Structure formats: C-alpha cells, structure tokens
Amino acid sequence: MSDRMYRLILGILLLISLYFEIGYLMYFLIGMLFFEGATNLRVPLLLRKLQGKSATDSHLAPIQQRNRFHFEAERAWRLIVGLMLLITYVLFYDKMWFFPWFMGFAILGAGASGVCPGLICVKWAGCR
C-alpha cells in the first residue's frame, strides 16, 4: 500500500464517519493518526514490509529541500491532521462543523490526485 492509497482510504473513512455520524470511527481514526505520528509505525510502511517491498517513496524526492528538522514529513502530517481533527471534531464541532468535512474532501482529493498540499507545506517548512 502506498501513502497515496492510504490517504484515499483515510479520506473515504473520514467522510463516511461524518456522513453517518459514526463517532467511534472518527475517534479511532484520530487515535490511529496520533499513534502513527508518535511512533512512526505507519500502516503503509508495515504493509510494504510484510509484502517484502522497499519502504521508501522515491517519487517525492524532488519536493525535499533543506532539512531544518530531523523529522519525517509524513509523520508530521499525521500529527497535524490528527490535531486538527481533534480540535475541530471533538472540541468545537458545533461551531466548526465544516472543517472536518473540508479535511475529509481534501485528504480524499490528495489520495486521488497524488498531490497533497499539506504534505508539500510540511516538506517546505523543513521536515525530511
């Protein structure tokens, strides 16, 4: 599984959770994002290792610039997405209900197109 496919599935699950108001699925996704961001045990990497494939994404190499931080961009992206979902869905959903929907569609679009503006910004900020 590639990170692109992971983002596609994550976006679909976020939208399903929001549309059918499945709170437990949303809490699971937020917890999974925090767990993956904190431990760097990511689902796509684990599945690639189980399949015996290489665990690197060479197609993202042109995006990398100066590495100011010794922190992976995918890991930072997962922490940022988890934090934003935690703030907007768990704490302020009555006032910011549109933001989790926007994130779900944006992540779905990033998975479908292969271009994630959030990940590009994190890489531009200096993560490797």
Which residue is associated with the tokens 């922490």?
79
pTM higher than 0.75 for the full model? yes
What pLDDT, on the 0 to 100 scale, is given for residue 77? 95
Q: Where are the domains of the chain?
A: 3-51+60-125
What pLDDT, on the 0 to 100 scale, is given for residue 66? 64
Helix H segments across the chain? 3-19, 23-39, 43-51, 73-85, 98-113, 117-125
What pLDDT, on the 0 to 100 scale, is given for residue 94? 87
Q: Do 121 and 106 touch, CB atoms closer than 8 A?
A: no
CA dihedral in degrees (45, 49, 52, 55; nearest 10)? Answer: 40
Comparing C-alpha atoms, which of 122, 3, 120 is closest to residue 68? 122
Q: Give me the residues of the chain with pLDDT under 70, please.
A: 54-66
